[in-house]
Chains A and B, each alone.
Chain A
Amino acid sequence: MSKLIATRAIRGAHKLFERAEKELKAAIDEKGPDTKVEFPNTGYYLPISHGMLGLKIDTLGGLTQLLEEARKLLPPVPDENLWVPYLGHTMDAGMATLFIDEIIEAIKYTQNPLPYLTEPNPSDDQLWIGAANDVILRERGIEFVDGTAPGFAACVGYCPTNEIAVKIARELQEKNLYVFMSAATDGKSMAQQLREEGVQMGWETRLVPFGDDVTATVHSLGFATKVALSFGGSQPGDFQRVLKYNKNRVFAFVLALGPVDDEKHAQAAGAINYGFPTIADTDIDQILPSGICTYEHVVSPVEHDNIVAKAIEVRGLKITVTKVPIPVPYGPAFQGERVRKEDMYVELAGQTMPGFEFLTTRPLDEVEDGKIEVIGPEIDDVEEGTHLPLAVWVEVAGREMQPDFEPILERHMHDLVNCAHGVWHMGQRDINWVRISKEAKEKGFKFKHFGSILHAKFHGEFGKIFDKVQFKIYTREKEILELIEHARKVYHERDDRIAGMTDESIDTFYSCTLCQSFAPNHVCIITPERSGLCGAYNWLDGKAAHQINPTGPNQPVKKDKEIDDVKGQWQGINEFVYSTSHRTLEAFNAYSIIEFPMTSCGCFECISGVLPSTNGIMTVYREYPEMTPCGMKFSTLAGVVGGGVQTPGFIGHSKHYVGSNKFISAEGGARRIVWMDSGLKEEMRSILCEIGERDGIDGFVDMIADETVAVTEEEVLEYITRKNHPALTMPPLF
């Protein structure tokens, strides 16, 4: 009966509390109460205490307050006889455990050497990577938003064999779930088992080794908390909203593998607060009645063969995965996988071999659906270490197919091929580059399977816009060189067509409310000259997505009567935004950062913000971790700008938008940029040069300050004054 679970969880919380109390005292005695504590590069402090209690702890001394909060929550262990209700107590013990975990983990970040590698992926000498920083959060956030990652499995303990560990990991990956690993038992953990089997881990393969300590489990829930704070519009301290958001939107669960001690029970109780149930492979008793989680709370014992399927069912998750008929595992989790040279069987195209990928429309009667021809040697025909050219020529046919959709389908080839385990894909068009691992070859992967993958996935995702598709896979230079020129000609034509499109040339924009799952009042309006702020959707994508799913998140929006052509305001757009934002946004200017600017969900590639004294703006890329001249790091800025709220003076946007003629054109455009982080500046250099030329400003790029010359607004002002930046002579922003 579940009294056992309650008893063990509460006991575990008490044990961890004693440990935290001791460790905190020792740390304060040794280092002093003012010693800084922080998880790496985050605007969310220690996320659990920040999200649940609104605390902003940044010193060892500050942890004392959290310890007291945990103490207040710690309930008594249920009595043997005549017990008082223990479920509420167990939940409190669970939350106390998360506070305690956070204290113990925070202390670790004051240690030298740091017990964690602060990189997104483990290295050969350091397996454990600890808390996710905000760069990872934002990069990965979009996957939670668009559903490519429905949730995560927090795996604690270890499996009976390495083989089972790999099998469970692969199965979770194939279901698109993230796998967060922590809490070794008797020195054994799932992550170590995967490492022994040579499995590539890290955020890029969705197999994330947080830490071997049981308290490292808190990084899973910390990540969940940050998702709610950054994408869910929850305010720090509004614990009800953070937890409810997680229950309804983040479909996570705990897999308890191997023996489950009291401390792990306590973690499970913490997770139940978030609506995340626990599924165990050993018999730890069950809590079946629903209510706090969507369905059962604890289910055990479950066979390893069935544990992933059972967990998904218990969490109430529906995952529809298009079955791809290839002999290796397939899923987005494998997208980030590398194939290193020593693991590689064959290399295709790339810098020294010709290659390209091309998709074109043919009449219906000229396409035989699913036909795949390999022209040239197949993988079995070549030796290990061979380098071959590669062209993938795709012909589609269908009544709904339009030429505009060709580049969209073609662009997806990269993602789709890359999802195969053991296949690594880079680039597109005529800069494609592919590696296939020895393991994949061993399992029977062939070149023709490029076609199998694309056939299955194109039908799964784009079946509404075409009927038939066939493939020619060339691995012989002769044919490739004959065809490549035609492909290049078409690439140019397409580029010219989209480059020529302006907002004035059409009467319909597209909305994107994909992120309303996370930011309920946010609406993106995608125009030909302003792509989606996540960088993933342009106007044509919006159009195609609408065609594919007419009732989906991308809807055509008629501009209707023009209200202000300079700021970019139209009556039809206003009305749509008003109703779709649940009546929170009354007006919307497409081209202004000051007045009724577009809102952001949280997925933005860049944030631009006014630096008032400079009469200009700064633009920062989401991976820049340091302080910016507006006095906030990207993480903090993201909190201000995201969540579907209009924040005059700030916008989130794609990198692409910076080069657009409509980039804050109401305020004078890109000439206003006075500061950029150097990484973004270098990446955008050629575009910024073009802007300089367009606007007749010599040496514009170098007038823009970056962190190497200015980190405060005063320094920016000083720098641009010295450089005579055009913003200084433009009309006042306010």
Chain B
Amino acid sequence: MAKRSIDKSVEHMLDRKTPDSPETIWDRADNQKPHCTFGEQGLCCRACYMGPCRVKPGSKKRERGVCGATAEVIVARNFARMIASGAAAHSDHGRDVAETLLLAAKDPDSGYTIRDERKLNKVARAFGIDTKDKTTEEIAAAVAETALADFGRQEGEVAFTHLAPEPRQALWRDHDIVPRGIDREIVEVMHRTGMGVDQDHRSIMLQGARAALADGWGGSMIATELQDILFGTPSPVRGQVNLGVLSETEVNIVVHGHEPVLSEMLVIAAKDPELIALAKTKGAAGINLAGICCTANEILIRHGLPVAGNILQQELAIWTGAVDAMVVDVQCIMPSLPEVARCYHTRLVTTSPKGRIPGAKHFDLSDKRPLDTAKAIVKEAILNFPNRDKVDIPDEKMDLIAGFSHEAINYMLGGSFRESYSPLNDNVINGRIKGVAGVVGCSNPKVTHDQAHVSLTEELIANDILVVQTGCSAIACAKAGFLRPETAEKYAGKGLAEVCKAVGMPPVLHSGSCVDNSRILIALSEMVKIGGLGSDISELPVAGAAPEWMSEKAIAIGQYFVASGVYTVFGVGLPVEGSKIFSKHIFKEFEEVFGGMWGVEADPGKMATLIIDHINSKREKLGISKGRERVLFDMKMRRELE
């Protein structure tokens, strides 16, 4: 049996498993083996009830489905539907944030406020909103309404797509894939991929790309940017990670899911003096708010609050017996949680009307008084503290620095007066940094937990590639210690280490949750804008990777990076390999279409090689493969400088 995880805390918890212990995700993953090969390869179609059909290209009998669909069409439809589902998740999250911003703007008693006016004005400018003589609240309302309009727009272009480099926008227009409205593109994918509509895998994937762009440059970006306005734009902050952050003596509230609209209220509630006093009357030393999954990332990057683990550790957190309440909202919440919670004293709390779980206690956070609700949840946890039984918290915890938003990177490279990406571009051009890779995505029990994230990242930084991270991948590398600044000296190549030491940054930058992949899009656009690295994202020496992906959201993210011009490699496998025609299309022909393409490679070492080779080839094309010679400027040359 393959190793479950490289994380010692996971090992520790699984080692103490007894026959009475509740099931874990690894048990269920084993039970599901062998997985259906047709499903794994994308060849199973359930679009209508003439099937389900399983096709087998090349075979006489099963070349086509009942309706006549070929393998490439079935794979394309399945793949596009994954994109639509992923885009829907991020975008619905974005919509909630936009509605919250509108609430904050309109209702002074909502409990939500505008924390970053600079960002508000920046977004307002991007949206073309006239801010003259408007109050902060009026601007916020206009921003929220513009964002909300992007969901239901029928024609035109989603506003944030205009932040992409001009040539990229032109390319999208040439292919007619600029998203019109976020919801419309998702609906159109669902329509086209139903029985008997779009029969051309290339055409399906163009619409798939369009829906993906509506996610990356639409829903996700709205989520990120508006969250920053509401809750503050992250800047580098210290934190700790792994199950060891749970406290023996304090009330542990673990918040899990995705939307900071929930967690931000819990952050406030957990600091409430009355509630802290209440906790003390119950014998607790205080209140410890920690996170799992992307909500963890949200409270980490804005408040430095501890991260208990990534997605695969959600059950194990409860196993410690120390979690007094696990509070969840949407996405990546395992339906097994009530079963696990039942074995311990843990109170499972749901908060979103979109995510109800039988066996959990529901507190509706979407009501008008979210802070009161949050306080009630904290109280619930406090009251549950005396019910703790045996507690077993692993020792593992690791320090980290996180919070590298686009704005924070800009600042850290030059301070308030010279903030700019030019030091980044400059050092990419001179070869100290070879390129930048986004290593993101989920964890997946099909592969050894955290291993691919960590070994890929280790290999990349050793080769002078700066790594930017989000999501559960960032948590994996944080646990391995890569998010500490001293890592530069220990693991990074000489050039990258030199830059890290000059800036004081780790070689691996944690930028946030999975919707925050939109930060990477903005960062890439900024690199293009600063100059010296080509005129479009597709010319940059950069790549993306999701080495342990599992969610449909990851497919949406992968596709929007590819459609934005980034070579993006996925680990584990991709449900497309059943069709050679389709595989050739996204692994090769996409390069012609988007200047970026998909790749798949389960072995992290080989994945690193693919990325390094790609980055080197881009450097070659840019004419910077040999670094840069020192140019001395005479008066004439100085006159020509901008």
Q: A: which residues have CB within 8 A of B? A: 1-3, 6, 52, 73, 78, 81-92, 94-95, 146-147, 150, 239-240, 243-244, 248-249, 251, 273, 287-292, 294-295, 297, 312-313, 316-320, 516-517
Interface assignment of B432: CB less than 8 Å from any CB of chain A? yes
- The answer on a CB contact under 8 Å between B238 and A84 is yes
Neighbouring A residues of B424 by C-beta, 8 Å: 291
The CA-CA distance from A317 to B504 in the complex, in Å, is 28
A95–B415 touching, CB < 8 Å: yes
- Is there contact, CB below 8 Å, between B415 and A91? yes
Beyond A291-B414, A318-B632, list 19 extra A-B contacts (CB 8 Å).
A84-B236, A85-B401, A87-B502, A89-B415, A91-B416, A92-B416, A92-B417, A147-B634, A150-B635, A243-B417, A248-B642, A251-B633, A288-B498, A289-B498, A291-B420, A292-B423, A316-B632, A317-B632, A517-B638
Which of B236, B430, B432 touches A85 (beta carbons < 8 Å)?
B236
With both chains docked as a complex, state the minimum distance between the C-beta of A93 and any C-beta of chain B, in angstroms.
Answer: 8
Min CB distance A13 to B, Å, is 12
Across the A-B interface, the 4 shortest Cβ-Cβ residue pairs: A291-B423, A91-B415, A147-B635, A318-B632
Chain B residue with minimal CB distance to A552?
B636
**Chain B residues within 8 Å of A95, by CB:** 415-417
B630:A316 contact, CB within 8 angstroms: yes
Query: Which interface residue of B416, B498, B637 has the most chain A CB atoms within 10 A?
Result: B416
From B417, B425, B503, B505, contact of A239 by CB (8 A):
B417
B2 within 8 A of A: no
Chain B nearest CB: distance from A278 CB in Å? 14
B484 touches A82 (CB 8 A): yes
**Chain A residues positioned under 8 Å from B430 (CB to CB):** 290
B99 CB–A CB distance under 8 Å: no
Q: Which of A6, A52, A249, A319 contacts B504 (CB 8 A)?
A: A6
- A-B contact list, 11 entries, CB within 8 Å: A85-B236, A85-B401, A91-B414, A91-B416, A147-B635, A292-B414, A297-B502, A312-B632, A313-B630, A318-B634, A517-B635
Q: Which of B415, B423, B505, B638 contacts A248 (CB 8 A)?
A: B638
> Closest Cβ of chain A: how far from B394's Cβ, in Å?
21
Q: How far, in whole Å, are A288 and B635 apart by their CA atoms in the complex?
A: 25
Residue from the list B237, B418, B632, B641 in contact with A292, Cβ < 8 A: B418
Given contacts A82-B238, A317-B633, contact A88 B501 (CB under 8 A): no
Q: Which of B411, B432, B485, B630 contacts A289 (CB 8 A)?
A: B432
| Residue contact A88 to B633, C-beta cutoff 8 Å | no
> Which chain B residues numbered 383 to 420 have a C-beta less than 8 Å away from chain A?
399, 401, 411-420
With the chains together, A218 CA to B424 CA distance in Å? 29
Chain B residues with CB under 8 A of A78:
504
Chain B residues within 8 Å of A, Cβ to Cβ: 236-238, 399, 401, 411-420, 422-427, 430, 432, 484-486, 498-499, 501-505, 630-635, 637-639, 641-642
Contact call B504/A86, Cβ cutoff below 8 A: yes
* Bound Cα distance from A294 to B638, whole angstroms: 12
Given contacts A73-B416, A273-B417, A313-B630, contact A84 B504 (CB under 8 A): yes
Task: List residues of chain B with CB within 8 A of the CB of A146.
Answer: 635
Known: A95-B415, A516-B639. A87 touches B504 (CB 8 A): yes
B503 touches A87 (CB 8 A): yes
Q: Assess whether B503 is in contact with A85, with CB atoms less than 8 Å apart.
A: yes
A516 contact set on B, CB distance < 8 A: 639
CA distance A147 to B634 in the complex (A): 8
Is A295's CB under 8 angstroms from B499's CB?
no
Query: What's the nearest-Cβ distance from chain A to residue B182, in Å?
Result: 34
B-side contacts of A287, CB under 8 Å? 502
Q: How far is the CB of A543 from chain B (nearest CB, A)?
A: 21
Which single member of B413, B417, B501, B638 contacts A1 (CB below 8 Å)?
B501
* B417–A3 touching, CB < 8 Å: no
Q: Which residues of A contact B484 (CB under 8 A)?
A: 82
State A78–B498 Cα separation when bound (angstroms): 18
B633 touches A316 (CB 8 A): yes
Cα distance, A103 to B419, chains bound together (Å): 25
* Complex alpha-carbon distance, A85 and B500, angstroms: 9
Scoring A85, A147, A243, A517 by chain B CB atoms within 10 A of each residue's CB, the highest score goes to A85
Distance (whole angstroms) from the CB of A81 to the closest CB of chain B: 8
Q: How far is the CB of B220 from chain A (nearest CB, A)?
A: 25
A291-B641 contact given A87-B412, A90-B415, CB 8 Å threshold? no
The residues of B that contact A297 with a CB separation of less than 8 Å are 502
Q: Is the CB–CB distance between B414 and A87 below 8 Å?
A: yes
Bound state CA distance, A92 and B412, in angstroms?
Answer: 10
Residues of B within 8 A of A249 (CB): 638, 641
Q: Could you tell me if A85 and B505 are in contact, using CB atoms closer than 8 angstroms?
A: yes
B414 touches A517 (CB 8 A): no
Of chain A, the residue at the smallest CB distance from B416 is A92
What chain B residues lie within 8 Å of A94 (beta carbons)? Answer: 415
Q: Which residues of A contact B630 (CB under 8 A)?
A: 295, 313, 316
| Complexed CA–CA distance, A92 and B419 (Å) | 10
Within the assembled complex, what's the spacing in Å between the Cα atoms of A83 and B489? 14
Residue of B nearest to A151 (CB): B638
Give the docked Cα–Cα distance between A82 and B639 (Å). 43
Chain B residues with CB under 8 A of A52: 417
> Are B485 and A83 in contact, CB atoms less than 8 angstroms apart?
yes
A502 to chain B, nearest CB (A): 33
* CB closest chain-B residue, reference A78: B504
User: Which chain A positions have C-beta within 8 A of B432?
Assistant: 289
Assembly CA distance A87 to B415 (angstroms): 7
Which residues on the A side are within 8 Å of B399 (C-beta)? 81-82
A316: which B residues are within 8 A, CB to CB? 630-633
Q: How far is the CB of B586 from chain A (nearest CB, A)?
A: 37
| Minimum C-beta distance from B433 to chain A (A) | 9
When chains A and B are docked, how far (Å) is the Cα of A517 from the Cα of B640? Answer: 8
Complex interface: chain B residues within 8 A of A81 (CB) = 399, 486
Q: Nearest Cβ distance between residue A244 and chain B, in whole angstroms? A: 8
Q: In whole angstroms, what is the CA distance A81 to B414 when docked?
A: 22
A316 to B420, CA, bound (A): 20
Query: How far, in angstroms, from A340 to B455 measured CA to CA in the complex?
Result: 75
Instruction: Pick the residue among A2, A73, A239, A517 that contacts B639 (CB under 8 A).
Output: A517
- Minimal Cβ-Cβ distance residue in A for B495: A289
Closest approach, in angstroms, between the C-beta of B414 and any C-beta of chain A? 5
Residue of B nearest to A240 (CB): B417
CB of A290 within 8 A of CB of B237, answer no
Is the CB–CB distance between A88 and B502 below 8 Å? Answer: no
Q: Shortest beta-carbon distance, B236 to chain A, in Å?
A: 4
* The one of B238, B414, B634, B639 that contacts A88, using a Cβ cutoff of 8 Å: B414
> What's the least CB distance linking A148 to chain B, in Å?
9
For the complex, what is the distance from the CA of A319 to the CA of B423, rounded to whole Å?
26
Using known A-B contacts A73-B416, A86-B504, A95-B417, determine if residue A289 contacts B423 with beta carbons closer than 8 Å: yes
Q: Is the CB of B427 within 8 A of A289?
A: yes
Query: Known contacts being A249-B641, A251-B633, A517-B639, is A88 close to B413, with CB within 8 Å?
Result: yes
With a cutoff of 8 Å between Cβ atoms, the chain A residues found around residue B503 in the complex are 85-87
Question: Which B residues touch A83, using CB under 8 A?
Answer: 485, 504
- Most B-side CB within 10 Å, residue of A78, A95, A292, A516: A292
Query: Known: A3-B501, A88-B412. Is A313-B632 also a contact (CB below 8 A)?
Result: yes
Chain B CB within 10 Å — which of A84, A248, A297 has the most? A84
Contacts of B419 in A (CB 8 A): 88
Docked complex Cα distance between A726 and B412 (Å): 64
Q: Which of A3, A91, A273, A291 has the most C-beta atoms of chain B within 10 angstroms of its own C-beta?
A: A291
**Complex formed: what's the CA distance from A669 to B424 in Å?**
57
A249, B633: Cα distance in complex, Å: 10
Contact A85–B504 (Cβ < 8 Å): yes
Q: B566 CB to closest chain A CB, in angstroms?
A: 23
| Known A91-B417, A249-B638, A318-B637: A288·B412 in contact at CB below 8 Å | no
For the complex, give the distance between the alpha carbons of A287 and B503 in Å.
9
Q: Which of chain B's residues have a CB closer than 8 A to the CB of A251? A: 633, 638
Q: How long is the Cα–Cα vector from A635 to B315 in the complex, in angstroms?
A: 73
A243 proximity list for chain B (CB < 8 A):
417-418
Q: How far is the CA of A87 from the CA of B414 in the complex (A)?
A: 7
CA distance A516 to B640 in the complex (A): 10
B637 / chain A contacts, CB cutoff of 8 Å: 318
